[in-house]
């Protein structure tokens, strides 16, 4: 199969925000306890943090880590998680019907982020609590010593403020499953009150309002519109969430997910422009796609009131990894709209990593993320793709390839390609109008013949990265082969034509 990708370094959709490669860690199942914090493990450091998990997540280069939820945050009292561990209360967690020991809280999370080299992205409880508690948490995190909550932080061992810049105004408040779920009109008022109070305390912070928890919601885009209209002056981003599924077990249909992901981004781009027009405003609001992943196989959500239960520990296969690569391709292509995106989540819970007390399993989805986070830098190039198509069920004619491309200041080009064909390799020619490729840098691929193949504890290296095949032609184009059911990331040096 032959395909062609046309690029021009002057045709771009802006700088790629590195924060599209961010993560999410929730008090859910074994994400925090036994994933991030596991003092009983031989692999934990002196603070109880899993060293192997820290090292693996570091390879994903995540600039932000969203915390502490998710649904968990909407009934969480952050005060329970600070101070002497022996005095922290054990609480019922209503979201996941689990017991929360509170042995890991805000200060532990900040120390873990510092070790990882990432910044915290904090979510506040706008379900069962409100602006007063949010203001107290902001004071605890960001204000200098001298007042009650800032002094509590100092007393708890952190003299310097944490300077958390990015704050989520609640979580999925459109969802009836959410503690404190309310209609958009009520949420908008709650969010705006919290936003005004928080920005009054710290003008440097940026705020993300809840949008829709999925495109299937009856209130999709309307919840977002009402919130956006009400909070326009005080927020910076609207949040979108999406989890992909293949219940019908149709690989061709599933691999067309990229088309749907892009539709969601387009929907939001249209909404932002619409409200901007209504407001006669010059302000730009951006999308924070702060929960995304494949999630449909592991749906155990009842912790039966135990600590760190095994909940939603999805096992990821090859087709899942190809869908994850398409999420990232879409975020890169729409660098003009998407500024933050968080894979949900980072360890054990719908995550690229699974742990046992003394082991770590790297899942298929880890690999495209690691490669793209490493290489997708600089400008996002507009892609004009000539690709054969295939019938993806009711999703219709779909290009066999899904691509994104970026170029750095130093001329390093990166191209990321998913081949949706289950049978045919693709030979792609990449032609850049104004520059020629001079040398291939790194070419790596993930592929296989079985879309359901997955790494397991018994076969942990069934799926992994191997060198790919690419070369520079006489006229400075690039040719690259993408195996069937494959993902390729390549870099190349370029020079002006």
* Token pair of 204 as six digits: 């440097």
3-state SS class at 332: helix
Name the nearest CA neighbour of 204 among 239, 167, 153, 231.
Answer: 167
Least CB distance to ligand AHR at residue 98 (A): 12
Least CB distance to ligand AHR at residue 163 (A): 25
Active site residues: 172, 291
Omega prior to 68 cis, within 30 of 0: yes
Q: How many CB atoms lie within 10 A of CB 492?
A: 27
Tell me if 191 sits within 8 A of 199, measured CB to CB.
no
Per CB under 6 A, the list member of 69, 127, 135, 468 interacting with ligand AHR is: 69
Is 314 among the residues that bind ligand AHR (CB under 6 A)? no
Report the residue number, 345 or 494, with the smaller CB distance to ligand AHR.
345
- Residues for the chain: how many in total? 497
3-state SS class at 487: strand
Site residues (CB under 6 A) for ligand AHR, limited to 144-183:
171-172
CA distance 450 to 28: 31
- The helix or strand, by DSSP H or E, that contains position 479, with its residue range, turns out to be strand 478-482
Report the residue number, 77 or 477, with the smaller CB distance to ligand AHR.
77
184-201 and 131-142 helices, crossing angle to 10°: 30
Report the residue number, 344 or 485, with the smaller CB distance to ligand AHR.
344
How many binding residues for ligand AHR (CB under 6 A)?
Answer: 11
CA distance 302 to 315: 18
Is 70 among the residues that bind ligand AHR (CB under 6 A)? yes
Tell me if 449 sits within 8 A of 485, measured CB to CB.
yes
Report the residue number, 184 or 294, with the smaller CB distance to ligand AHR.
294
Report the residue number, 34 or 291, with the smaller CB distance to ligand AHR.
291
Report the residue number, 31 or 463, with the smaller CB distance to ligand AHR.
31
Report the residue number, 171 or 494, with the smaller CB distance to ligand AHR.
171
Least CB distance to ligand AHR at residue 64 (A): 16
Tell me if 296 sits within 8 A of 458, measured CB to CB.
no
Long-range contacts of 150-157 (CB under 8 A, 24+ apart): 152/82, 152/83, 153/82, 153/107, 156/82, 156/83, 156/107, 157/107
CA distance 227 to 334: 23
Is 23 among the residues that bind ligand AHR (CB under 6 A)? no
Least CB distance to ligand AHR at residue 246 (A): 18
Report the residue number, 24 or 272, with the smaller CB distance to ligand AHR.
24
Least CB distance to ligand AHR at residue 106 (A): 18
Q: What is the 3-state secondary structure (H, E, C) of 32-43?
A: CECCCECCCCCC
Contact window for ligand AHR (CB under 6 A) among 68-76, 183-191, 249-257, 385-393:
68-76
Report the residue number, 172 or 319, with the smaller CB distance to ligand AHR.
172
Is 71 among the residues that bind ligand AHR (CB under 6 A)? yes
Least CB distance to ligand AHR at residue 213 (A): 6
Is 483 among the residues that bind ligand AHR (CB under 6 A)? no
CA distance 398 to 61: 31
String marking each residue 28-67 x if it binds ligand AHR according to CB under 6 A: x---------------------------------------
String marking each residue 225-264 x if it binds ligand AHR according to CB under 6 A: ----------------------------------------
**First and final CA of the chain: distance in angstroms?**
28
**Cα separations (Å) of 256 from 23, 54, 320?**
24, 33, 12
Is 344 among the residues that bind ligand AHR (CB under 6 A)? yes
Is 93 among the residues that bind ligand AHR (CB under 6 A)? no
Least CB distance to ligand AHR at residue 325 (A): 20
String marking each residue 261-300 x if it binds ligand AHR according to CB under 6 A: ------------------------------x---------
86: CB partners within 8 A, 6+ apart: none
Site residues (CB under 6 A) for ligand AHR, limited to 198-217:
213
Name the nearest CA neighbour of 385 among 427, 430, 433, 418.
Answer: 430
Least CB distance to ligand AHR at residue 211 (A): 12
Give residue number: closest CB to ligand AHR.
70
362: left (phi over 0), alpha (psi -120 to 50) or beta: beta
- Give the binding site for ligand AHR (CB under 6 A): 26, 28, 69-71, 171-172, 213, 291, 344-345
């Amino acid at each position: 199969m032959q395909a062609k990708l046309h690029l021009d370094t002057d045709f771009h959709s802006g700088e790629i925000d590195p924060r599209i490669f961010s993560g999410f860690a929730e008090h859910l199942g074994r994400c925090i306890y036994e994933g991030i914090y596991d003092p009983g493990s031989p692999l934990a450091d002196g603070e109880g943090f899993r060293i192997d998990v820290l090292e693996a997540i570091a390879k994903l280069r995540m600039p932000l880590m969203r915390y502490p939820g998710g649904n968990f945050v909407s009934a969480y009292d952050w005060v329970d998680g600070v101070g002497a561990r022996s005095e922290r209360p054990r609480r019922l967690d209503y979201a996941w019907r689990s017991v929360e020991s509170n042995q890991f809280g805000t200060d532990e999370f900040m120390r873990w982020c510092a070790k990882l080299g990432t910044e915290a992205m904090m979510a506040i409880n706008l379900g069962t609590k409100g602006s007063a508690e949010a203001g107290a948490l902001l004071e605890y995190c960001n204000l200098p010593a001298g007042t009650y909550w800032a002094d509590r932080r100092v007393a708890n061992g952190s003299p310097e403020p944490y300077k958390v810049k990015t704050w989520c105004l609640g979580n999925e408040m459109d969802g009836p499953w959410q503690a404190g779920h309310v209609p958009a009109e009520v949420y908008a008022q709650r969010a705006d009150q919290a936003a005004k109070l928080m920005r009054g305390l710290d003008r440097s912070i940026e705020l993300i309002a809840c949008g829709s928890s999925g495109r299937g919601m009856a209130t999709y885009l309307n919840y977002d519109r009402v919130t956006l209209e009400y909070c326009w002056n005080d927020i910076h981003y609207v949040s979108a969430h999406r989890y992909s599924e293949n219940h019908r077990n149709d690989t061709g249909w599933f691999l067309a997910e990229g088309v749907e992901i892009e539709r969601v981004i387009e929907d939001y781009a249209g909404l932002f422009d619409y409200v901007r027009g209504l407001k006669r405003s010059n302000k730009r609001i951006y999308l924070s796609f702060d929960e995304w992943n494949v999630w449909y196989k592991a749906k155990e959500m009842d912790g039966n009131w135990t600590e760190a239960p095994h909940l939603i520990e999805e096992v990821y296969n090859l087709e899942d990894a190809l869908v994850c690569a398409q999420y990232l391709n879409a975020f890169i292509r729409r660098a003009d709209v998407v500024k933050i995106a968080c894979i949900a989540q980072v360890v054990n819970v719908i995550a690229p990593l699974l742990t046992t007390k003394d082991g770590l399993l790297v899942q298929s989805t880890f690999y495209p993320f690691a490669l793209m986070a490493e290489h997708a830098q600089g400008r996002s190039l507009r892609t004009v793709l000539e690709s054969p198509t295939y019938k993806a069920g009711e999703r219709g004619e779909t290009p066999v390839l899904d691509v994104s491309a970026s170029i750095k200041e130093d001329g390093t080009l990166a191209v990321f390609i998913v081949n949706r064909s289950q049978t045919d390799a693709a030979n792609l020619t990449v032609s850049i109008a104004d520059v020629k490729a001079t040398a291939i840098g790194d070419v790596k691929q993930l592929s296989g013949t079985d879309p359901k193949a997955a790494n397991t504890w018994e076969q942990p290296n069934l799926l992994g990265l191997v060198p790919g095949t690419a070369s520079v032609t006489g006229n400075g184009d690039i040719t690259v082969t993408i195996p069937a059911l494959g993902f390729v990331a390549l870099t190349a040096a370029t020079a002006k034509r």
